[in-house]
Amino acid sequence: MSAFWHWYVAALTLVFIAIMVWLFISTGKAKVSTGQNEAGEETTGHVWDEDLAELNNPMPRWWLWLFYISVIFALAYLVLYPGLGRFDGTLGWSSSEQYEQEMVVANESFETRFQALANEPLETLASNEEAIRVGRNLFAHNCSTCHGSDARGAKGYPNLTDNHWIWGDSTDQIWHSIYLGRQAAMPGFGAALSDQDVTRVATYVQQLAGLDVDQTMAAAGKKQYDMICSACHGPQGLGNPMLGAPNLTAGVYTYGGSLDEIRHTIREGRNGVMPAQKDLLGETRTKLVTAYILSLRPKLDTDEALSRE
């Protein structure tokens, strides 16, 4: 607030209080009475509907006192607390400071409440009901804006409830994705590839996912793919979780699987960012929200689980 507005607001506040007090004192003293009605009561002289007269009764004492007390309260408040322009008040109280203090207390009690829980390994937490309940809450507040309230994702934000993990499906990899964040770097090839080549390689990407596409287009695209794309997405298109290069054979897309969407990805590149929760949520909360994410993983059937051993 600039100096001008500070004085302007402060002066307005005080002048209004002064005017109110003056108004009450002056009207309290002024004699308006001009007559009497039939019952001998004082009236102000205003008469409506021939016989409805306004009586001239003084304002009740208690009401006036209440008014004066509230004025004194207001003045004392303006001295003690911020309220008069930029003046901070003699107590030095501020709402943001109070909020921060309350947050510190809330944080500490959260930490003490869930510390024991968060000390358990993620594998057990993922089936601990309390951890999942708290984690679901944390997810709703901190993750659902991007990944959706049901964690099924949206265009540009991966689905966290399926078996397709860009950055790896182990507990450690998922923890890393959330705690330390991820930054994907798919370069754009719009400058290196002609429009036709982009369409060819996009067609091949669709073939990798099992779509029935134009064979000659796909064969031409495969050549480009082997040269450029296989370095990151792998020779068979299975992806590379170390780079966050998705598996292109699954038919599961973050950015969409239509020919146009794939062409767009190839031409412009993609740079998805998963924000690190280390400094945002801290370790205890991140652990609980990770437990919730792990609990969403579809149960692998035994064969699949065994083949992973």
Q: Which residues bind ligand HEC (CB under 6 A)?
A: 142-143, 145-147, 156-158, 160, 165-167, 174, 177-178, 182, 184-187, 189, 201, 205, 225, 228-229, 231-233, 243-246, 253-255, 262, 265-266, 270-275, 277, 281, 289, 293
Tell me how far, at minimum, the Cβ of 154 lies from ligand HEC, in Å: 10
Residues 122 and 293: their CA atoms lie apart, in Å, by 11
* Nearest alpha-carbon partner for 151 in 299, 300, 298, 293: 293
Tell me how far, at minimum, the Cβ of 99 lies from ligand HEC, in Å: 22
Tokens 């170390």 sit at which residue? 242
Q: How far is CA 58 from CA 22, 31, 67, 73, 158, in A?
A: 17, 10, 15, 24, 73
Nearer to ligand HEC, 131 or 147 (CB): 147
Q: How many CB atoms lie within 10 A of CB 233?
A: 22
Nearer to ligand HEC, 78 or 266 (CB): 266
Residues 119 and 293: their CA atoms lie apart, in Å, by 17
Euclidean distance between the first and final Cα of the chain, in Å? 65
Nearer to ligand HEC, 78 or 289 (CB): 289
- With 0-12 / 13-18 / 19 or more C-beta atoms within 10 angstroms meaning exposed / middle / buried, residue 184 is middle
Tell me how far, at minimum, the Cβ of 89 lies from ligand HEC, in Å: 38
Q: How many residues in total does the chain contain?
A: 309
Contacts of 92 (CB under 8 A, 6+ apart): none
Tokens 């050549």 sit at which residue? 223
Q: What is the largest CA-CA distance in the chain?
A: 112
Tell me how far, at minimum, the Cβ of 12 lies from ligand HEC, in Å: 43
Tell me how far, at minimum, the Cβ of 70 lies from ligand HEC, in Å: 47
User: Nearest residue by C-beta to ligand HEC?
Assistant: 272
Residues 214 and 28: their CA atoms lie apart, in Å, by 95
Tell me how far, at minimum, the Cβ of 293 lies from ligand HEC, in Å: 5
Residues 262 and 77: their CA atoms lie apart, in Å, by 64
Nearer to ligand HEC, 87 or 255 (CB): 255
Tell me how far, at minimum, the Cβ of 137 lies from ligand HEC, in Å: 11
Tell me how far, at minimum, the Cβ of 252 lies from ligand HEC, in Å: 7
Nearer to ligand HEC, 201 or 220 (CB): 201
Residues 225 and 233: their CA atoms lie apart, in Å, by 9
